[in-house]
Amino acid sequence: MATIKPFRAVRPPKNLAEKVSALPYDVMNVAEACSMAAGNPLSFLHISRPEIDLPRELDPHDESVYERGKRNLKDFINHGTLIQDSHDCFYVYRQRMGSISQTGLVVCASVDDYQSGVIKKHEHTRADKEEDRVKHIDYLDANDEPVFYLSRTCAEVETIIEAVTSRVPEYDFVSDDGVGHTAWIIADQSQIDRLITLFAAIPRLYVADGHHRSAAAGRVRELRRDSNPNHTGSEEYNSFLTVIFPESQLNIMPYNRAVKDLNGHSVQEFMAQAEKSFAILPSPLPVIPADRHHFGMYLDGYWYTLQARPEIVNENDTVSRLDVSILQNTLLAPLLGIDNPRTNQRIHFVGGIRGNDELVKLVDSGEYAIAFALHPTSIRELIELADQDQIMPPKSTWFEPKLRSGLFVHLLS
Protein backbone atom coordinates (compact mmCIF):
# COMPACT_ATOMS: atom_id res chain seq x y z
CA MET A 1 0.00 0.00 0.00
CA ALA A 2 1.26 3.48 -0.88
CA THR A 3 2.88 5.60 1.81
CA ILE A 4 2.81 9.37 1.39
CA LYS A 5 4.27 11.93 3.77
CA PRO A 6 3.81 15.70 4.21
CA PHE A 7 6.92 17.86 4.28
CA ARG A 8 8.15 21.41 4.81
CA ALA A 9 8.68 22.60 1.26
CA VAL A 10 11.41 25.06 0.38
CA ARG A 11 9.78 27.27 -2.23
CA PRO A 12 9.73 30.79 -3.65
CA PRO A 13 7.60 33.62 -2.27
CA LYS A 14 4.48 34.33 -4.32
CA ASN A 15 6.00 37.27 -6.17
CA LEU A 16 9.05 35.27 -7.29
CA ALA A 17 7.47 31.95 -8.31
CA GLU A 18 7.30 32.73 -12.03
CA LYS A 19 10.91 33.97 -12.21
CA VAL A 20 12.28 31.05 -10.17
CA SER A 21 10.41 28.23 -11.90
CA ALA A 22 12.08 26.42 -14.79
CA LEU A 23 11.66 23.41 -17.04
CA PRO A 24 13.17 20.16 -15.67
CA TYR A 25 16.87 19.55 -16.13
CA ASP A 26 16.60 16.73 -18.66
CA VAL A 27 14.51 18.34 -21.41
CA MET A 28 17.26 20.67 -22.63
CA ASN A 29 20.94 20.71 -23.45
CA VAL A 30 23.46 23.05 -21.84
CA ALA A 31 23.19 25.68 -24.56
CA GLU A 32 19.39 25.74 -24.25
CA ALA A 33 19.64 25.97 -20.44
CA CYS A 34 22.03 28.93 -20.75
CA SER A 35 19.63 30.68 -23.10
CA MET A 36 16.62 30.04 -20.83
CA ALA A 37 18.42 31.41 -17.76
CA ALA A 38 20.04 34.36 -19.53
CA GLY A 39 19.38 37.58 -17.66
CA ASN A 40 17.54 35.81 -14.84
CA PRO A 41 19.72 35.19 -11.78
CA LEU A 42 16.66 33.74 -10.00
CA SER A 43 16.10 30.93 -12.51
CA PHE A 44 16.06 27.53 -10.83
CA LEU A 45 18.32 26.31 -13.64
CA HIS A 46 21.21 27.73 -11.60
CA ILE A 47 20.45 24.88 -9.17
CA SER A 48 19.17 22.11 -11.45
CA ARG A 49 21.73 22.83 -14.22
CA PRO A 50 24.59 24.53 -12.32
CA GLU A 51 27.03 23.93 -15.19
CA ILE A 52 25.50 27.03 -16.83
CA ASP A 53 27.48 29.10 -14.30
CA LEU A 54 30.79 27.44 -15.14
CA PRO A 55 33.10 27.37 -18.19
CA ARG A 56 31.52 25.61 -21.19
CA GLU A 57 34.47 23.29 -21.69
CA LEU A 58 34.04 21.79 -18.20
CA ASP A 59 32.76 18.21 -17.98
CA PRO A 60 29.13 18.52 -16.70
CA HIS A 61 29.88 15.62 -14.32
CA ASP A 62 32.89 17.33 -12.76
CA GLU A 63 32.70 17.57 -8.97
CA SER A 64 32.79 21.37 -9.24
CA VAL A 65 29.41 21.29 -11.00
CA TYR A 66 27.76 19.53 -8.07
CA GLU A 67 29.52 21.87 -5.65
CA ARG A 68 28.20 24.86 -7.59
CA GLY A 69 24.65 23.53 -7.40
CA LYS A 70 25.02 23.13 -3.64
CA ARG A 71 26.32 26.68 -3.30
CA ASN A 72 23.57 28.11 -5.51
CA LEU A 73 20.83 26.39 -3.49
CA LYS A 74 22.34 27.75 -0.27
CA ASP A 75 22.49 31.24 -1.79
CA PHE A 76 18.86 31.08 -2.93
CA ILE A 77 17.82 30.19 0.62
CA ASN A 78 20.07 32.75 2.31
CA HIS A 79 18.82 35.55 0.04
CA GLY A 80 15.13 34.66 0.50
CA THR A 81 14.62 33.50 -3.08
CA LEU A 82 13.51 30.21 -1.51
CA ILE A 83 11.88 30.00 1.92
CA GLN A 84 11.02 26.90 3.94
CA ASP A 85 7.50 26.45 5.25
CA SER A 86 7.20 26.34 9.03
CA HIS A 87 5.28 23.05 9.22
CA ASP A 88 4.60 19.90 7.22
CA CYS A 89 2.10 20.27 4.41
CA PHE A 90 0.83 18.63 1.26
CA TYR A 91 0.49 20.78 -1.85
CA VAL A 92 -1.74 20.69 -4.93
CA TYR A 93 -0.25 21.52 -8.31
CA ARG A 94 -2.31 22.13 -11.45
CA GLN A 95 -1.00 22.56 -15.00
CA ARG A 96 -2.91 23.79 -18.03
CA MET A 97 -1.67 23.40 -21.60
CA GLY A 98 -4.32 24.27 -24.16
CA SER A 99 -7.25 21.94 -23.55
CA ILE A 100 -5.18 19.73 -21.23
CA SER A 101 -5.49 20.20 -17.47
CA GLN A 102 -3.92 17.95 -14.85
CA THR A 103 -4.02 18.37 -11.08
CA GLY A 104 -1.68 16.44 -8.81
CA LEU A 105 -0.83 16.06 -5.16
CA VAL A 106 2.69 17.11 -4.11
CA VAL A 107 3.99 14.73 -1.43
CA CYS A 108 7.01 12.80 -0.31
CA ALA A 109 6.92 9.17 -1.43
CA SER A 110 8.64 6.32 0.38
CA VAL A 111 12.01 4.89 -0.66
CA ASP A 112 10.85 1.62 0.89
CA ASP A 113 7.82 1.61 -1.45
CA TYR A 114 10.07 2.13 -4.45
CA GLN A 115 12.44 -0.64 -3.46
CA SER A 116 9.69 -3.12 -2.52
CA GLY A 117 7.72 -2.65 -5.75
CA VAL A 118 4.72 -0.76 -4.40
CA ILE A 119 5.93 1.96 -6.76
CA LYS A 120 6.00 0.36 -10.19
CA LYS A 121 8.52 1.28 -12.86
CA HIS A 122 8.41 0.60 -16.59
CA GLU A 123 11.94 1.49 -17.72
CA HIS A 124 15.48 0.51 -16.83
CA THR A 125 17.86 3.27 -15.81
CA ARG A 126 21.21 4.09 -17.35
CA ALA A 127 24.12 3.78 -14.92
CA ASP A 128 25.71 7.09 -15.92
CA LYS A 129 22.51 9.10 -15.60
CA GLU A 130 21.64 7.46 -12.30
CA GLU A 131 25.09 8.19 -10.90
CA ASP A 132 24.74 11.83 -11.97
CA ARG A 133 21.44 12.17 -10.10
CA VAL A 134 22.89 10.47 -6.99
CA LYS A 135 25.70 13.02 -6.84
CA HIS A 136 23.40 15.92 -7.62
CA ILE A 137 20.90 15.02 -4.88
CA ASP A 138 23.57 14.13 -2.34
CA TYR A 139 25.54 17.35 -2.85
CA LEU A 140 22.41 19.50 -2.71
CA ASP A 141 21.15 17.60 0.33
CA ALA A 142 17.77 17.92 -1.34
CA ASN A 143 15.34 16.57 -3.91
CA ASP A 144 15.27 19.67 -6.09
CA GLU A 145 12.93 18.33 -8.78
CA PRO A 146 9.81 16.21 -8.22
CA VAL A 147 9.27 12.81 -9.77
CA PHE A 148 6.12 12.46 -11.88
CA TYR A 149 3.90 9.60 -10.62
CA LEU A 150 0.43 8.39 -11.48
CA SER A 151 -2.14 6.48 -9.46
CA ARG A 152 -5.50 4.90 -10.00
CA THR A 153 -8.21 7.51 -9.58
CA CYS A 154 -9.74 7.68 -6.09
CA ALA A 155 -13.04 9.57 -5.82
CA GLU A 156 -12.49 10.77 -2.26
CA VAL A 157 -8.98 12.02 -3.02
CA GLU A 158 -10.46 13.97 -5.94
CA THR A 159 -13.14 15.42 -3.66
CA ILE A 160 -10.55 16.70 -1.19
CA ILE A 161 -8.47 18.20 -4.00
CA GLU A 162 -11.57 19.89 -5.45
CA ALA A 163 -12.23 21.50 -2.09
CA VAL A 164 -8.64 22.72 -1.84
CA THR A 165 -8.63 24.12 -5.39
CA SER A 166 -11.79 26.12 -4.73
CA ARG A 167 -9.68 28.39 -2.52
CA VAL A 168 -7.38 31.24 -3.52
CA PRO A 169 -4.14 29.67 -4.81
CA GLU A 170 -0.64 30.27 -3.51
CA TYR A 171 0.79 30.49 -7.05
CA ASP A 172 -0.93 31.23 -10.34
CA PHE A 173 1.08 32.15 -13.43
CA VAL A 174 1.68 31.26 -17.05
CA SER A 175 5.26 30.31 -17.95
CA ASP A 176 6.94 31.53 -21.11
CA ASP A 177 6.04 28.29 -22.94
CA GLY A 178 2.34 29.06 -22.49
CA VAL A 179 1.68 26.48 -19.76
CA GLY A 180 -0.36 27.64 -16.76
CA HIS A 181 0.82 26.70 -13.26
CA THR A 182 -1.36 26.97 -10.14
CA ALA A 183 -0.57 25.68 -6.66
CA TRP A 184 -2.36 25.45 -3.32
CA ILE A 185 -1.21 24.50 0.18
CA ILE A 186 -2.90 21.79 2.26
CA ALA A 187 -2.10 22.72 5.85
CA ASP A 188 -5.25 21.35 7.50
CA GLN A 189 -4.18 18.35 9.58
CA SER A 190 -7.49 16.51 9.16
CA GLN A 191 -7.15 16.68 5.37
CA ILE A 192 -3.50 15.60 5.57
CA ASP A 193 -4.40 12.62 7.77
CA ARG A 194 -7.29 11.61 5.52
CA LEU A 195 -5.13 11.72 2.39
CA ILE A 196 -2.50 9.55 4.09
CA THR A 197 -5.21 7.02 4.97
CA LEU A 198 -6.70 7.05 1.46
CA PHE A 199 -3.35 6.47 -0.20
CA ALA A 200 -2.61 3.64 2.24
CA ALA A 201 -5.53 1.83 0.56
CA ILE A 202 -4.13 2.38 -2.96
CA PRO A 203 -2.09 -0.71 -3.81
CA ARG A 204 0.35 0.84 -6.31
CA LEU A 205 1.83 4.01 -7.65
CA TYR A 206 3.44 4.18 -11.10
CA VAL A 207 6.48 6.08 -12.30
CA ALA A 208 5.40 8.22 -15.23
CA ASP A 209 8.56 10.29 -15.58
CA GLY A 210 11.59 10.22 -13.31
CA HIS A 211 13.03 6.71 -13.15
CA HIS A 212 16.57 8.00 -12.63
CA ARG A 213 15.55 10.38 -9.84
CA SER A 214 13.57 7.62 -8.13
CA ALA A 215 16.47 5.17 -8.29
CA ALA A 216 18.89 7.87 -7.16
CA ALA A 217 16.71 8.65 -4.15
CA GLY A 218 17.04 5.02 -3.09
CA ARG A 219 20.81 5.05 -3.48
CA VAL A 220 21.15 8.32 -1.55
CA ARG A 221 19.11 6.77 1.26
CA GLU A 222 21.49 3.80 1.33
CA LEU A 223 24.53 6.08 1.50
CA ARG A 224 23.09 8.09 4.36
CA ARG A 225 21.72 5.13 6.26
CA ASP A 226 25.08 3.38 6.10
CA SER A 227 26.88 6.46 7.43
CA ASN A 228 24.32 7.15 10.21
CA PRO A 229 24.77 4.88 13.26
CA ASN A 230 21.57 6.36 14.71
CA HIS A 231 19.42 5.67 11.65
CA THR A 232 15.75 5.17 12.63
CA GLY A 233 13.94 5.12 9.28
CA SER A 234 12.11 8.37 10.00
CA GLU A 235 14.77 10.68 8.57
CA GLU A 236 13.87 12.91 5.62
CA TYR A 237 16.26 11.01 3.35
CA ASN A 238 13.92 8.01 3.57
CA SER A 239 11.45 9.81 1.32
CA PHE A 240 11.62 11.84 -1.87
CA LEU A 241 9.70 14.54 -3.69
CA THR A 242 6.87 13.48 -6.01
CA VAL A 243 3.73 14.80 -7.66
CA ILE A 244 1.02 12.15 -8.00
CA PHE A 245 -1.62 12.57 -10.71
CA PRO A 246 -4.74 10.42 -11.25
CA GLU A 247 -4.47 8.28 -14.37
CA SER A 248 -7.58 9.86 -15.90
CA GLN A 249 -5.89 13.25 -16.29
CA LEU A 250 -2.55 12.40 -17.84
CA ASN A 251 -1.45 13.10 -21.39
CA ILE A 252 1.18 10.93 -23.09
CA MET A 253 2.82 12.12 -26.28
CA PRO A 254 4.95 10.03 -28.62
CA TYR A 255 8.71 9.67 -28.21
CA ASN A 256 10.01 9.83 -31.76
CA ARG A 257 13.31 8.58 -33.19
CA ALA A 258 15.98 9.76 -35.62
CA VAL A 259 18.94 7.69 -36.83
CA LYS A 260 22.19 9.07 -38.22
CA ASP A 261 22.60 6.71 -41.19
CA LEU A 262 21.02 3.77 -43.01
CA ASN A 263 23.62 1.29 -41.75
CA GLY A 264 25.19 0.86 -45.18
CA HIS A 265 21.90 0.48 -47.08
CA SER A 266 20.89 2.65 -50.00
CA VAL A 267 17.45 4.26 -49.77
CA GLN A 268 16.08 1.73 -52.26
CA GLU A 269 17.58 -1.24 -50.37
CA PHE A 270 16.20 0.01 -47.06
CA MET A 271 12.72 0.54 -48.48
CA ALA A 272 12.69 -2.93 -50.04
CA GLN A 273 13.66 -4.54 -46.73
CA ALA A 274 11.18 -2.45 -44.72
CA GLU A 275 8.31 -3.47 -47.01
CA LYS A 276 8.65 -7.04 -45.79
CA SER A 277 7.28 -5.91 -42.40
CA PHE A 278 5.26 -2.80 -43.28
CA ALA A 279 2.84 -1.58 -45.89
CA ILE A 280 4.45 1.68 -47.05
CA LEU A 281 2.53 4.54 -48.64
CA PRO A 282 3.97 7.93 -49.64
CA SER A 283 2.33 10.91 -47.95
CA PRO A 284 2.17 14.49 -49.27
CA LEU A 285 2.01 15.78 -45.67
CA PRO A 286 3.96 15.06 -42.48
CA VAL A 287 2.57 11.89 -40.90
CA ILE A 288 1.10 11.98 -37.40
CA PRO A 289 0.08 8.36 -36.73
CA ALA A 290 -3.55 8.21 -35.62
CA ASP A 291 -3.65 4.51 -34.71
CA ARG A 292 -1.57 1.82 -33.04
CA HIS A 293 0.91 0.04 -35.30
CA HIS A 294 1.04 2.98 -37.72
CA PHE A 295 4.23 5.02 -38.10
CA GLY A 296 5.43 8.08 -39.92
CA MET A 297 8.81 7.91 -41.68
CA TYR A 298 10.80 10.82 -43.09
CA LEU A 299 13.50 9.72 -45.50
CA ASP A 300 15.36 11.43 -48.36
CA GLY A 301 13.04 14.47 -48.23
CA TYR A 302 9.76 12.51 -48.31
CA TRP A 303 7.16 11.39 -45.77
CA TYR A 304 5.72 7.88 -45.73
CA THR A 305 3.06 6.08 -43.71
CA LEU A 306 4.13 2.67 -42.43
CA GLN A 307 1.52 0.16 -41.30
CA ALA A 308 2.78 -2.96 -39.53
CA ARG A 309 1.76 -6.15 -41.30
CA PRO A 310 -0.45 -8.29 -38.99
CA GLU A 311 1.97 -11.22 -38.97
CA ILE A 312 4.69 -9.21 -37.21
CA VAL A 313 2.46 -8.15 -34.29
CA ASN A 314 1.92 -10.48 -31.32
CA GLU A 315 -1.07 -8.95 -29.55
CA ASN A 316 -0.73 -11.52 -26.73
CA ASP A 317 2.65 -10.14 -25.64
CA THR A 318 2.40 -6.99 -23.51
CA VAL A 319 5.84 -5.68 -24.45
CA SER A 320 6.36 -6.77 -28.06
CA ARG A 321 2.97 -5.38 -29.19
CA LEU A 322 3.99 -1.85 -28.17
CA ASP A 323 4.70 0.36 -31.16
CA VAL A 324 8.12 1.26 -29.76
CA SER A 325 8.92 -2.48 -29.64
CA ILE A 326 7.63 -3.14 -33.16
CA LEU A 327 9.80 -0.34 -34.55
CA GLN A 328 12.83 -1.47 -32.56
CA ASN A 329 12.50 -5.17 -33.35
CA THR A 330 11.66 -4.94 -37.07
CA LEU A 331 13.50 -1.84 -38.31
CA LEU A 332 15.89 -0.24 -35.85
CA ALA A 333 17.76 -3.38 -34.78
CA PRO A 334 17.80 -5.67 -37.85
CA LEU A 335 18.06 -3.02 -40.58
CA LEU A 336 19.63 0.03 -38.97
CA GLY A 337 21.90 -1.76 -36.48
CA ILE A 338 20.51 -0.10 -33.34
CA ASP A 339 20.82 -3.23 -31.19
CA ASN A 340 20.88 -1.35 -27.86
CA PRO A 341 19.02 1.97 -28.09
CA ARG A 342 19.99 2.78 -24.51
CA THR A 343 23.67 3.09 -25.43
CA ASN A 344 23.91 3.40 -29.23
CA GLN A 345 25.14 6.86 -30.21
CA ARG A 346 23.59 6.73 -33.71
CA ILE A 347 20.01 7.12 -32.45
CA HIS A 348 18.43 10.32 -31.14
CA PHE A 349 15.14 10.45 -29.22
CA VAL A 350 12.81 13.38 -29.87
CA GLY A 351 10.05 14.28 -27.42
CA GLY A 352 6.65 14.58 -29.08
CA ILE A 353 6.22 18.17 -27.92
CA ARG A 354 8.82 19.18 -30.54
CA GLY A 355 6.55 17.92 -33.33
CA ASN A 356 7.36 16.59 -36.77
CA ASP A 357 9.13 19.82 -37.70
CA GLU A 358 12.00 18.73 -35.48
CA LEU A 359 12.27 15.41 -37.33
CA VAL A 360 12.40 17.21 -40.67
CA LYS A 361 15.02 19.62 -39.36
CA LEU A 362 17.25 16.81 -38.13
CA VAL A 363 17.14 14.88 -41.40
CA ASP A 364 17.34 17.90 -43.70
CA SER A 365 20.41 19.11 -41.80
CA GLY A 366 22.29 16.05 -43.04
CA GLU A 367 23.20 15.01 -39.49
CA TYR A 368 20.51 12.30 -39.54
CA ALA A 369 19.39 10.09 -42.42
CA ILE A 370 15.95 8.93 -41.29
CA ALA A 371 13.32 9.76 -38.66
CA PHE A 372 10.22 8.02 -37.34
CA ALA A 373 7.05 9.49 -35.84
CA LEU A 374 5.20 7.13 -33.49
CA HIS A 375 1.71 6.78 -32.06
CA PRO A 376 1.88 7.45 -28.30
CA THR A 377 1.92 4.65 -25.77
CA SER A 378 -1.31 4.72 -23.74
CA ILE A 379 -1.78 4.99 -19.99
CA ARG A 380 -3.56 1.64 -20.11
CA GLU A 381 -0.54 0.01 -21.75
CA LEU A 382 1.83 1.55 -19.21
CA ILE A 383 -0.18 0.37 -16.20
CA GLU A 384 -0.80 -3.11 -17.58
CA LEU A 385 2.87 -3.60 -18.35
CA ALA A 386 4.07 -2.21 -15.00
CA ASP A 387 1.60 -4.41 -13.10
CA GLN A 388 3.23 -7.41 -14.78
CA ASP A 389 6.70 -6.14 -13.74
CA GLN A 390 7.60 -5.83 -17.40
CA ILE A 391 9.96 -3.22 -18.81
CA MET A 392 9.33 -1.05 -21.86
CA PRO A 393 12.02 -0.22 -24.39
CA PRO A 394 13.82 3.01 -23.46
CA LYS A 395 12.15 6.32 -24.28
CA SER A 396 8.69 4.84 -24.71
CA THR A 397 6.68 7.67 -23.17
CA TRP A 398 6.82 11.46 -23.21
CA PHE A 399 4.54 13.15 -20.69
CA GLU A 400 3.47 16.71 -21.32
CA PRO A 401 3.18 19.26 -19.80
CA LYS A 402 6.39 18.82 -17.83
CA LEU A 403 6.47 19.52 -14.10
CA ARG A 404 7.96 22.93 -13.42
CA SER A 405 11.05 22.83 -11.23
CA GLY A 406 11.72 25.27 -8.40
CA LEU A 407 8.22 25.49 -6.96
CA PHE A 408 8.85 22.78 -4.34
CA VAL A 409 12.15 21.52 -2.90
CA HIS A 410 12.49 18.78 -0.27
CA LEU A 411 15.49 19.04 2.07
CA LEU A 412 17.00 15.74 3.18
CA SER A 413 18.37 16.93 6.52
What would the pLDDT profile of 275-311 be if each residue is shown by its tens digit?
Answer: 999 999 999 999 999 999 999 999 999 999 999 999 9
Instruction: Label residue 339 by pLDDT band (50, 70, 90).
Output: very high
How far apart are alpha carbons 282 and 288 in whole angstroms?
Answer: 13
pLDDT at 372 over 90: yes
DSSP structure class, residue 366: T
Instruction: Label residue 343 by pLDDT band (50, 70, 90).
Output: confident
How far apart are alpha carbons 8 and 91 in whole angstroms?
Answer: 10
pLDDT at 1 over 90: no
H or E element, residue 71: helix 63-78
Query: What's the confidence (pLDDT) of residue 250?
Result: 87
How far apart are alpha carbons 81 and 68 in whole angstroms?
Answer: 17
The mean pLDDT of 41-50, rounded to a whole number, is: 98
Instruction: Say what the pTM is.
Output: 0.90
DSSP H helical ranges for 235-302: 267-274
Query: What's the confidence (pLDDT) of residue 124?
Result: 87
How far apart are alpha carbons 34 and 28 in whole angstroms?
Answer: 10
Distance of CA 318 to the CA centre of its chain: 22
Count CB neighbours of 85 within 10 A: 16
DSSP structure class, residue 233: S
pLDDT at 123 over 90: no
Query: At the topology level of CATH, where does 255-375 sit?
Result: 3.30.1760
Q: Identify which of 128, 126, 139 has the alpha carbon closest to the alpha carbon of residue 50.
A: 139
How far apart are alpha carbons 294 and 305 in whole angstroms?
Answer: 7
Query: What's the confidence (pLDDT) of residue 299?
Result: 98
Burial label, 63 (beta-carbon count in 10 A; 0-12, 13-18, 19+): exposed
Residue extents of the structural domains in the chain: 4-19+85-252+401-411, 255-375
Asked whether 43 and 20 are in contact (CB, 8 A), the reply is: yes
